[in-house]
Structure 1
Amino acid sequence: MDLKPLREALDHFVRPATYPLAIRMLAPGEAFPGRCKRPRRDLQEAFAICQGFTMARRYGWSLGFTREDISCPLAKVVWGFEPMLDYYLNGMTCAGMYTETPAAGAVSEAAVDKWEYGRWEGVVMAPLHRADFEPHVVLVYGNSAQVMRLVTARLWQSGGRVESSFSGRIDCADAVITTMQRDDCQVILPCYGDRIFAQTEDGEMGFTLPAGRIGAIIAGLEGTHQGGVRYPVPSFLRYTGEFPEHYRELDRQWAADAGEEP
């Protein structure tokens, strides 16, 4: 897959401040690309998956994760890298922090998209310009106007609306698992952990597209640009502003001196 046209379209029409990412799930036995860093092996640390996103998009690194590279227990379970436990399903990791009761927490946990245990062995992520693999998902972080720009691109050919849902938790699942399972673009609200561990900024949001929609997104960016939807959003400036009365007194005095009507 040639990712250069997408990279050029995003640079030209969206101008993200950090690198858009190519992300691929690795099946059991599938090798990691040769250039990727492994957190445990190469950095002697374990990271949350959202931390990997930030390292890749800010440092320009290619990173590969398996179970031992991941620090976040919630990511391990919903990504299928560890077995699902009743403790999680019964809402115990949610209750008292995000929900009032374990019963409400169980509802929240059930709503998270998941991979079944053992389906995948790892995940690799890299900036588009460094990706030496075919991605399943492309993830772009930007401000709300840039994400809006991508939403309009997604709808260029089909119309309608982009349907996404939010919980403020486990956004790594929203970004990859939901996008792959629904085979459609998603708006990503960075979760609490993404902001704490990955240091995602208050003004940032995410947007994902499955690999099968890359061509449609490029066409949508080009088409909506021609239609007048731009980023940076142009300001409408062709109007006469109103000024305070004591400013306008100057105009009245100039007019009087010139024998003109004010």
Structure 2
Amino acid sequence: MLNLYESLNNFLKLQTIPVGVNLLKDIPEIKVRLKNRKITVCQQIAYSRYYGWSTMITKEDSFCVLGASCTGLIKPPKRVLDGEVNCNIYQKNIDSAKKMQESMPRVPENIKSVLTYPINRPIESIIPDVVVFYCNTAQAMRMVQAFLYEKGGEFNFNSSGDAGVCSRAVAESYIKSKPVIEIPCLGDRRFAMAQDFEVAVGFPYSMKDEVIKGLESTHKAGIRYPIPFQIPDLCDLPKTYTTLPEDLD
């Protein structure tokens, strides 16, 4: 796990820590920094990426019904499936709201706990299901290049403008065993400190070797982050700021 952490930091220079996420079918007896708190899935990830804390929630703890539904902690309530929860907020009527909910990825309801932790401080005997981190668009570009290095093609992603990290970066990546890039939602920004410039990246931990190789190989080919600017000679300075021949005497 540490080699993945080192690769992501070496090639992306991330501002916050990549996070391991596990969707568990039990409630393990492990040492966790934060538990038995009424928090959301995006807040769990925030605690892990900003502070380096491990967190664990059960269905009794998960405060956001969308996050709990997407990660399989609970069966989605009728008000969610029918679109009532987002009607007249994100969509103009109940039909369009229901269509949005129908498209949202959800893990089947058999998850007992959601565990998060920084991948540079792994929990003994725990291997992440999914790795999630936040980055800017240039860093996301580098991840797309890493994802496509072996197979080529193009990278596609979907977004609903809501339940971003829990439905896409966690649930979709977990269900479909594929990498995901998603725009953080309003709740993630308001309650979990997602920044205006950030996007969320999620991928199955089983892809770690592919990700490391893709980043290393494209870096060796000359694609670097930070992106090196071309700095011109004879830049357009005002004459009074320019070193003149007589200044050399």
Residues 154-193 of structure 1: pairs in structure 2 closer than 5 A: 154-171=147-164, 172-193=166-187
Choose from 77, 82, 96 the match for 1:104. 96
- Mapped contact 2:49–2:118 kept (Cα < 8 A): yes
User: Unpaired runs of 5+ in structure 2?
Assistant: none
Which position in structure 1 is the counterpart of 2:121?
130
Matched to 2:78, the amino acid is: D
The alpha-carbon deviation at position 82 of structure 1 amounts to 2.3
- The 1:68–1:30 alpha-carbon spacing in structure 2 relative to 1, beyond 3 Å, is closer
Identity, % of aligned positions = 28
- The 1:239–1:182 alpha-carbon spacing in structure 2 relative to 1, beyond 3 Å, is farther
- Mapped contact 1:162–1:185 kept (Cα < 8 A): no
**Equivalent residue of 1:207, what SS?**
strand
Which position in structure 2 is the counterpart of 1:260?
none
- Mapped contact 1:56–1:62 kept (Cα < 8 A): yes
Bigger Rg, which one: 1
The alpha-carbon deviation at position 86 of structure 1 amounts to 2.5
- Mapped contact 2:20–2:117 kept (Cα < 8 A): yes
Q: Distance in 2 between matches of 1:8 and 1:84?
A: 38
Length-normalised TM-score, structure 1: 0.86
**Equivalent residue of 2:60, what SS?**
helix
Choose from 179, 189, 197 the match for 2:191. 197
The alpha-carbon deviation at position 113 of structure 1 amounts to 0.4
Q: Distance in 2 between matches of 1:12 and 1:140?
A: 14
**Equivalent residue of 1:67, what SS?**
coil
Choose from 145, 155, 158 the match for 1:152. 145
Q: Distance in 2 between matches of 1:78 and 1:18?
A: 24
Runs of 4+ in 1 over 4 A off after TM superposition: none
Which position in structure 1 is the counterpart of 2:83?
91
Choose from 7, 10, 22 the match for 1:9. 7
Which position in structure 1 is the counterpart of 2:35?
39
The alpha-carbon deviation at position 243 of structure 1 amounts to 4.8
Q: Distance in 2 between matches of 1:80 and 1:208?
A: 17
Pairwise CA RMSD: 2.0
Matched to 2:32, the amino acid is: C
**Equivalent residue of 2:181, what SS?**
strand
Q: Distance in 1 between matches of 2:131 and 2:108?
A: 22
The alpha-carbon deviation at position 231 of structure 1 amounts to 0.8
**Equivalent residue of 1:236, what SS?**
coil
The alpha-carbon deviation at position 70 of structure 1 amounts to 1.1
**Equivalent residue of 1:13, what SS?**
helix
Q: Distance in 1 between matches of 2:104 and 2:182?
A: 13
The alpha-carbon deviation at position 196 of structure 1 amounts to 0.8
Q: Is 1:66 matched up with 2:58?
A: yes
The alpha-carbon deviation at position 30 of structure 1 amounts to 5.0
Q: Distance in 1 between matches of 2:232 and 2:207?
A: 38
- Mapped contact 1:38–1:69 kept (Cα < 8 A): no
Length-normalised TM-score, structure 2: 0.91
**Equivalent residue of 2:200, what SS?**
strand
Q: Distance in 1 between matches of 2:76 and 2:51?
A: 33
Q: Distance in 2 between matches of 1:114 and 1:101?
A: 22
The alpha-carbon deviation at position 38 of structure 1 amounts to 4.1
Q: Distance in 2 between matches of 1:149 and 1:233?
A: 10
